[in-house]
Amino acid sequence: MNKKELIVAASQSTGHPQVLIEVIFDEIQRLIVEELAEKRTVSISGFGTFTVIEKPEISRINYFTKEKITVPAKSVPKFKFSDVFKAQVNRF
Amino acid sequence: MNKKELIVAASQSTGHPQVLIEVIFDEIQRLIVEELAEKRTVSISGFGTFTVIEKPEISRINYFTKEKITVPAKSVPKFKFSDVFKAQVNRF
């Protein structure tokens, strides 16, 4: 199932128009990105928790050219399913 | 940020009522669970991909009682962020 099919299915089952569902889905996604970019956690009960970890800048040597390369520091998003969600996936 | 705060924020920024946003959020979550329970993938462009892996039944020995225990087979949900999402988290 891709995003379009997910929106169509949610529209059919809730009776709300697809465009409304997509606007709301995109806004929730934008808010999650914003929280993670601010290094904050988003914990959604019954679903899971979004966190972000900081990877420091590291230096590497190019194996062939022996040139020194600096890999910049970056934030890496993480997601952990809640136990409720995991149980639901096994309950069907 | 927890689920309630996420819904309040999405309601404020989209202008749609909180109850509507929660209904849509819960339905999208239910659809994802249903797809994973059927061992199917949910791929949301710009966000990430939900998959499920099968862990087979395994036998274990209780360290203390030496009793043999069977851990039943189970489906384990997995989520992988899209590159677009990862880039957005680093763009702020």
Q: Residue A18: is it exposed, middle or buried by C-beta count within 10 angstroms (0-12/13-18/19+)?
A: middle
Per-residue pLDDT of B12-68, as tens digits, reads 999 999 999 999 999 999 999 999 999 999 999 999 999 999 999 999 888 889 999
Chain B residues within 8 A of A20 when measuring between CB atoms = 16, 24
Q: Domain B3-91: give its CATH superfamily.
A: IHF-like DNA-binding proteins (4.10.520.10)
Per-residue pLDDT of A19-62, as tens digits, reads 999 999 999 999 999 999 999 999 999 999 999 999 999 998 88
Do the beta carbons of residue A41 and residue B81 sit within 8 Å? Answer: no
Can you tell me whether residue B66 is helix, strand or coil? coil
Q: Quick one: which of B3, B48, B1 has its CA closest to A44?
A: B3
Residue ranges per domain, chain A? 3-91
Do the beta carbons of residue A21 and residue A14 sit within 8 Å? Answer: yes
CB contact set of A63 (below 8 Å; sequence gap of 6+): none
Chain A residues within 8 A of B52 when measuring between CB atoms = 89
**Would you call A28 and B34 a contact, using CB atoms and an 8 Å cutoff?**
no
* Shortest Cα–Cα distance, B62 to chain A (Å): 24
**Would you call B27 and A13 a contact, using CB atoms and an 8 Å cutoff?**
yes
A18-37 vs B3-14: helix crossing angle, rounded to 10: 120
Per-residue pLDDT of B53-64, as tens digits, reads 999 999 988 888
Q: Helix, strand, coil proportions of chain B in percent (round to 5)?
A: 45, 30, 25
